[in-house]
């Protein structure tokens, strides 16, 4: 019978006031003999009442990818030939015992603020060696821990002095708090709550500024899009050039874009060219104001179809020869 247990949960602060980082646990030595103990008790006394290992731990694995939320999990396999182990296995199966505890040999502690969790009073155990894994009746939390040193179990107490577990340096913390307070425009005597409140206000303002910035950018884009649409409607530019002029507006701004578009003359319709050639517009007597090259492609085709004589005149004026019409 195998049962999965959470052995270390780095997202929690245990009752001893510290947390353990899963990636920093060295399992090499433990994997050579992955025994499962009861209540961190080693069988070395040679007495009749000594408790032998309950079994072994298989499939040790890390679940979770985000740093700070990882868990070390293992499958507990019980020695069914041992009467005590069989009793404990049955209590596990029946749900009466549901907690495991890692016996770790501390290697390195860290006072890094980014690793500190709310309510954490002591440093973070960033590097350690797995010494043993136990089933326990009452753990310090879901990822209960025990510490070993020189092969001996260190006695810990919840909320006690626990000198083996280093505290955060209060002087360093005070200096850091002063520096943070001054950076936020607060007096250096500001308490932690005042600093946290100020940080919350700054974050809210940052979010609000980002929202306003996004809204302003949207207003600018709308103005640019409208200016380009007006230019298309006025036949100053063709629809296929719309994206080009929108990008131009983003680069140079709406005022420069409007000035650029104002310098572009509106396209003349073929009918306007015809009217001009016939002198229908006061003050204009020739068609020299618009050449065949300056007309849009669709306007040229329409002129060729609807008024071949005028088309031929403009064509010859442009290229020096008469156009050829299909019979």
- Angle ∠(158,192,160) on CA atoms, nearest 5: 15
CA distances from 232 to 174, 258, 267, 291 (A): 65, 13, 10, 21
And the tokens for 12? 């929690």
Q: What is the pLDDT of residue 130?
A: 92
Phi, psi of 266 (to 5 degrees): -70, 145
* Digitized pLDDT (tens) for each residue of the chain, 327 residues in all: 678 888 889 998 887 788 899 999 999 999 999 999 998 887 765 666 678 899 999 999 999 888 889 999 999 999 999 999 999 999 999 989 888 888 888 899 998 888 888 888 888 999 999 989 998 887 655 445 556 566 665 544 444 445 566 666 655 556 677 888 888 888 888 888 888 888 888 888 888 888 878 877 888 898 899 999 998 988 888 889 889 889 988 888 888 888 888 888 876 555 555 554 444 444 433 344 567 777 777 787 788 888 888 888 887 787 677 777 765
Distance from first CA to last CA of the chain, Å, rounded?
Answer: 96
**Rounded Cα gap, residues 314 and 306, in angstroms:** 14
And the tokens for 103? 């016996």
- The one-character DSSP state at 115 is G
Q: What is the pLDDT of residue 74?
A: 92
Q: What is the pLDDT of residue 285?
A: 33
Strands (E), the chain: 2-9, 25-26, 35-38, 55-63, 71-78, 99-110, 124-136, 144-149, 152-154
pTM for the model:
0.47
C-alpha 322 chain-centroid distance:
68
Q: What is the pLDDT of residue 282?
A: 43
CB 133 within 8 A of CB 74: yes
Q: What is the pLDDT of residue 281?
A: 42
List all residues 6 or more positions away from 169 whose beta carbon is below 8 Å from its beta carbon. 111
Q: What is the pLDDT of residue 148?
A: 58
């Amino acid at each position: 019978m195998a049962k999965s247990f959470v052995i270390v949960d780095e997202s929690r602060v245990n009752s001893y006031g510290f947390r353990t980082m899963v990636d920093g646990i060295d399992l090499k030595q433990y994997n050579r003999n992955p025994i499962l103990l009861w209540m961190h008790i080693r069988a070395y006394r040679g007495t009749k009442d000594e408790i032998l290992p309950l079994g072994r731990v298989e499939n040790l694995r890390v679940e979770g990818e985000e740093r700070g939320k990882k868990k070390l999990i293992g499958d507990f396999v019980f020695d069914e030939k041992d009467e005590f182990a069989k009793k404990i296995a049955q209590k596990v199966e029946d749900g009466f015992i549901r907690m495991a505890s890692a016996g770790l040999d501390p290697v390195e502690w860290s006072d890094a603020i980014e690793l500190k969790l709310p309510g954490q009073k002591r440093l973070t155990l960033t590097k350690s060696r797995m010494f043993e894994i136990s089933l326990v009746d009452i753990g310090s939390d879901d990822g209960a821990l025990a510490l070993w040193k020189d092969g001996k179990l260190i006695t810990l107490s919840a909320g006690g002095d626990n000198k083996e577990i280093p505290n955060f340096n209060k002087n360093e913390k005070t200096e850091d708090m002063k520096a943070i307070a001054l950076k936020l425009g607060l007096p250096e005597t500001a308490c932690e709550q005042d600093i946290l409140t100020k940080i919350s206000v700054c974050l809210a303002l940052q979010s609000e500024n980002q929202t306003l910035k996004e809204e302003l950018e949207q207003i600018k884009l709308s103005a640019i899009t409208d200016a380009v649409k007006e230019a298309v409607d006025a036949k100053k530019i063709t629809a296929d050039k719309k994206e080009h002029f929108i990008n131009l507006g983003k680069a140079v701004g709406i005022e420069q874009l409007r000035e650029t578009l104002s310098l572009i003359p509106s396209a003349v319709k073929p009918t306007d060219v015809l009217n001009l050639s016939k002198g229908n517009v006061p003050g204009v007597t020739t068609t020299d104001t618009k050449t065949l090259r300056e007309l849009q492609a669709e306007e040229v085709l329409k002129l060729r179809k609807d008024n071949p004589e005028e088309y031929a005149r403009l064509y010859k004026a442009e290229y020096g020869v008469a156009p050829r019409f299909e019979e």
